[in-house]
Structure 1
């Protein structure tokens, strides 16, 4: 694995819309994010793609890919973040020259994880699943969100620990502008396991938004077996997924497809982020889905972790060695960049 590095001061962030951009009404939100980053001694380079949105994309796939490549190759840009996710990141993959990508951080989640996943699997460059730039627009950041800087500043062969959040936000209210903090936490956090006798799992992290990365199955961007052989030295994967809006049966089909495609053949476990998705179909629930994939694969299943669309969320590095330990309020994630 090849790990980028992001220092603590004087760094420059490139902001590009590799999936969706911002309609006019949301432009002030990006300006706020820019100011909050500058408050923390980070400069920004904002691409043209972020200011437009039409037909469920910021602009054409070729233009989005070109701007992303330019930011990767720009010598003064230290990390790249999107404004948020979207719907059509998949379109840009065939326009990217993966083997001309320098070792540089790309951070984001939701549809952005489609590109994160593909870059890591194709090249062995670590990518980071964590906050998008619009979630950094408040005066202060909660401890879980703020950890993205500690994670990206971890050196090669270094380790970093993130702790379970205390509380989380169940639903978004975009009409409420953040003041001191971005999120409005309203429920206590609890990381859970299907099997109480298994409270720790270790493996090489890989995953993303389940509804988007599933579309990489059977493509050159989803060859998990080759990734393990060429970049992980055959080590097993610790999978992580989050879901945005799919029903329980849709998630069932997606996980079964992954299983049948061999994605879980050499793995140590599956981590699921908490979600408001997974609507029950008849009497088939999200918990039934987790139990189903545990039965099919024999893997330990942890769920309701700080991953995804119910913030705050951990920053997970694709390719890093990770250990998740469930120990009540002291539950934690340890990552090593080896």
Structure 2
């Protein structure tokens, strides 16, 4: 059974870390102020404001910040400032046993999803593909906050992962399957293939999304995953948006889904709002999810936090 972190409640302490690329202080401070106005206390990691080229400190420094948050008994939730580049480089420096003994809510998307899946694989911890610190501002749609707080605060089950109104799921291959959900950013997972941290898709429902990549590159990455066997043993496939992904040679993202993924014959739903899109569904990595393509439902079958 996966380990479930304690639910997030008003007044809890949120630990802020920068685990990949740096981000400007204005965005960090706006996010912290928003959290404090929501009633949370905030603890700031040593590397949060650091900037060393395209990284916020060395891999060991960034990993140490994360470990300090897991070991800090006052911290209830860990929120990275952003993803960017370099999150995978901290993985060898993490103590997954210590993390399993100190379960916390941790949320994010983009390059952070490599970490979220590694924490599920090696610490057995349910994690959340949902908001980053940079999303905590008054420009973020209410749907995104509702999704984040519903997933991290509610202990009732089952519950539905839903898109916002007017943005329906699309049934591409029919099926009704149940299994742990894993996945996140396509580019980030391709970068871990051949390492001890590559994504485990056996018996899982695989979610993928992408941003700012031409469609021929998306095809290349999907082909790489296929050659690595990642579609062979998964139970089903969920495709999120490909935000700002330009067609290549007239071929669109939806056509790649139809021409490359549909023939695999796995139950398949596309058009999941998430991650880099404007609207961000909260996806609990490691939780048991039922995927019913005929009903166009994604049902989380268990509570993902504890009282």
- Structure-2-length-normalised TM-score: 0.88
Change (3 A) 1:265 1:327: closer
1:325 Cα deviation from its structure 2 partner: 5.2
Q: Is the 8 A contact 1:18 1:65 kept in 2?
A: yes
- Measured against aligned partners, the alpha-carbon deviations of 1:1-29 in whole angstroms (never above 9, x if no partner) come to 11112232221110000112223xxx232
Matching residue of 2:284: 317
Mapped to 2, the partners of 1:137 and 1:278 lie a distance apart of: 25
Matching residue of 1:165: 164
2:50 equivalent among 52, 66, 77? 52
Mapped to 1, the partners of 2:140 and 2:52 lie a distance apart of: 32
Matching residue of 1:185: none
- Measured against aligned partners, the alpha-carbon deviations of 1:142-172 in whole angstroms (never above 9, x if no partner) come to 13432212211244x8433343213xxxxxx
1:295 Cα deviation from its structure 2 partner: 4.5
For 1:287-306, list aligned pairs within 5 A.
Answer: 287-306=254-273
1:296 Cα deviation from its structure 2 partner: 5.0
Whether 2:170 is the aligned partner of 1:192: answer: yes
Moved over 4 A (4+): 324-328
Mapped to 1, the partners of 2:163 and 2:291 lie a distance apart of: 10
Matching residue of 1:203: 179
Q: Is the 8 A contact 2:8 2:77 kept in 1?
A: no
Change (3 A) 1:223 1:142: closer
Change (3 A) 1:309 1:43: same
Matching residue of 2:224: 257
Give secondary structure in 2 for the equivalent of 1:13: strand
Matching residue of 1:116: 116
Matching residue of 1:183: none
Whether 2:77 is the aligned partner of 1:79: answer: yes
Change (3 A) 1:324 1:75: same
1:41 equivalent among 39, 42, 46? 39
| Structure 1: gaps spanning 5 or more residues | 167-187, 229-235
1:335 equivalent among 300, 303, 307? 300
1:285 Cα deviation from its structure 2 partner: 2.8
1:316 Cα deviation from its structure 2 partner: 0.5
Mapped to 2, the partners of 1:257 and 1:282 lie a distance apart of: 20
- Structure-1-length-normalised TM-score: 0.81
1:258 Cα deviation from its structure 2 partner: 1.7
What is the Cα-based RMSD across aligned positions, in Å?
2.4
Whether 2:196 is the aligned partner of 1:220: answer: yes
| Structure 2: gaps spanning 5 or more residues | none
Q: Is the 8 A contact 1:62 1:92 kept in 2?
A: yes
Whether 2:282 is the aligned partner of 1:284: answer: no
Q: Is the 8 A contact 1:8 1:149 kept in 2?
A: no
Mapped to 1, the partners of 2:240 and 2:180 lie a distance apart of: 17
